[in-house]
Amino acid sequence: MLFYLIATLNASFPDYDFSSLNADQFTKEPSPDYCLKSISTTLLNVGCPATLKTSRMWDSIDDVINIDECDVYSYMPDPESDPYEAEGPVWSFNYFFLNRNLKRIVFFTCRCISNLDELDNTSDQELVFGDLIDEPARPDLYPVPSYARKEMSIGGGLRL
């Protein structure tokens, strides 16, 4: 089974070589329901409720893999084997939904990358008042709750 998880990572991130991963970097989760609740809570807390509601995300995934029949594994990479490490993620998670009967794996990964670096070259006065000449304030630079860019992919290729 470890072979299939590593092969899925290699297919999802072709620029990385995961062949040296150890089994201790993968954890079998208590239940698929536990993972669905964890993922849904995270997406709701970071401001992605539309992803869950309008796209019927879990229904679509269930149609492909029958979630209730899956074993779910999480992957906790070390810094050397983390394909997101170069971007300095605030957080990330990686889940594999494995249905042995259907011989299918769905890899579900999500990360949050800080965009606060974009604010470093902007003065506090400009953040609050905008450029004092004749330009309006730039609301895209305000440090409001959406301080980070969120990316989610399913199967390593489908971005929602």
**Mean pLDDT of all residues in 117-146:** 47
pLDDT winner (highest mean) among 57-61, 115-119, 126-130: 57-61
Distance CA 28, CA 113 (A): 26
Q: Count of residues for the chain?
A: 160
**Mean pLDDT of all residues in 35-47:** 84
pLDDT at 147: 41
Residue 28: closest CA among 84, 70, 78: 70
Q: Are 26 and 58 in contact (CB under 8 A)?
A: no
Q: pTM value?
A: 0.69
For 50-98, the pLDDT digits (tens) are 666 656 788 888 999 999 999 999 998 877 777 777 677 678 889 999 9
DSSP state of 142: S
Distance CA 10, CA 18 (A): 6
Average pLDDT of the chain to the nearest whole number: 74
